[in-house]
């Protein structure tokens, strides 16, 4: 199975950043002949602090993503947090993503499945690989045409995650498309005094380890200047480094 790639800013930011990322992804796609999805969230409902930036909201956010899809020909992936968002997001996005903390929410999974779009379910930080059979089945039995599963690490004490790479082949027993979220896996949740910390220097190694265990897709949050990103900066890959990392995986 040919690998796919998902990349983009954590949350929809200023237009110049959104366009710069889209231009780079479109260029990488052409140069390396790969399938790459543009990822950005219209609303980050699970930010650590109530004062954190959440995004432009559903209506404006989907307008921005629709423009990128039309202008650059990039397929779109965005996440939804509530079931009522699925229909509107599904009119633009090619893939609806279920956040890890919400992967057991039946109504959310069913609503995403019924849009006819691909559903990407992120494995919760508190679940095993075998537990993901049940969210997968909820989507399939609700009519989803295709479902992906994504590994993003498990809770390890406080403010830390660890990745058990055995989860990748175990989840491949459930569905063929298993993605490694290489950037969220290096998070330090809540470790930044009201924000999430992270160790971005380990992102390339996470990707290579996932390849060794048979991953069929790779997820990278990227930004031109991660230290100035409005969400998840400490664990994001620098946009200029993305092509090299993808080349090592190919």
Cα 241 from Cα 87, distance rounded (Å): 35
Alpha helices in the chain (DSSP H): 15-32, 58-72, 86-90, 106-114, 133-141, 167-172, 203-212, 242-249
* Tokens 């009519």, located at residue: 143
Domain range for 234:
4-249
Contacting residues for 174 by C-beta, under 8 A, at least 6 apart: 129, 132, 133, 136, 149
Cα 188 from Cα 52, distance rounded (Å): 17
Contacting residues for 151 by C-beta, under 8 A, at least 6 apart: 123, 129, 163, 165, 167, 168, 171, 178, 179, 180, 181, 185, 210, 215
User: pTM value?
Assistant: 0.94
Please state the domain count of the chain.
1
Cα 172 from Cα 76, distance rounded (Å): 23
| Cβ(80)–Cβ(89) below 8 Å | yes
- CATH number, domain with residue 145: 3.20.20.70
* Tokens 């399939």, located at residue: 140
Cα 30 from Cα 179, distance rounded (Å): 22
Tens of pLDDT, residue by residue, the chain (250 residues): 899 999 999 999 999 999 999 999 999 999 999 999 999 999 888 767 787 778 889 999 999 999 999 999 999 999 999 999 999 999 999 999 999 999 999 999 999 999 999 999 999 999 999 999 999 999 999 999 999 999 999 988 888 889 999 999 999 999 999 999 999 989 877 656 556 677 889 999 999 999 999 999 999 999 999 888 888 778 889 999 999 999 999 9
CA gyration radius, the chain:
16
């Amino acid at each position: 199975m040919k690998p796919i790639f998902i990349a983009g800013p954590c949350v929809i930011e200023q237009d110049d950043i959104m366009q710069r990322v889209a231009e780079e992804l479109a260029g990488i796609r052409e140069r390396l002949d790969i399938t790459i999805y543009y990822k950005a969230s219209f609303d980050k409902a699970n930010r650590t602090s109530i004062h954190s930036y959440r995004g432009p909201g559903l209506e404006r956010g989907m307008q921005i993503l629709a423009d990128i899809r039309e202008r650059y020909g990039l397929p779109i992936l965005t996440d939804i947090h509530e079931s009522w968002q699925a229909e509107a997001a599904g009119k633009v996005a090619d893939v609806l993503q279920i956040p890890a903390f919400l992967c057991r929410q039946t109504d959310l999974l069913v609503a995403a499945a019924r849009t006819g779009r691909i559903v990407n379910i992120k494995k919760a930080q508190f679940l095993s690989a075998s537990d993901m059979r049940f969210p997968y089945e909820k989507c399939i039995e609700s009519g989803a045409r295709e479902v992906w599963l994504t590994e993003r690490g498990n809770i390890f004490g406080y403010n830390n995650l660890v990745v058990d790479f055995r989860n990748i082949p175990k989840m491949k027993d459930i569905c063929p498309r298993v993605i490694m979220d290489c950037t969220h896996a290096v998070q330090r949740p809540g470790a930044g005094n009201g924000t999430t910390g992270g160790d971005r220097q380990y992102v390339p190694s996470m990707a290579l380890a996932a390849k060794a265990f048979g991953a069929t897709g790779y997820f990278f949050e990227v930004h031109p200047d991660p230290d100035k990103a409005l969400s998840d900066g400490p664990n994001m890959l620098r946009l200029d480094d993305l092509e090299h990392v993808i080349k090592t995986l190919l």
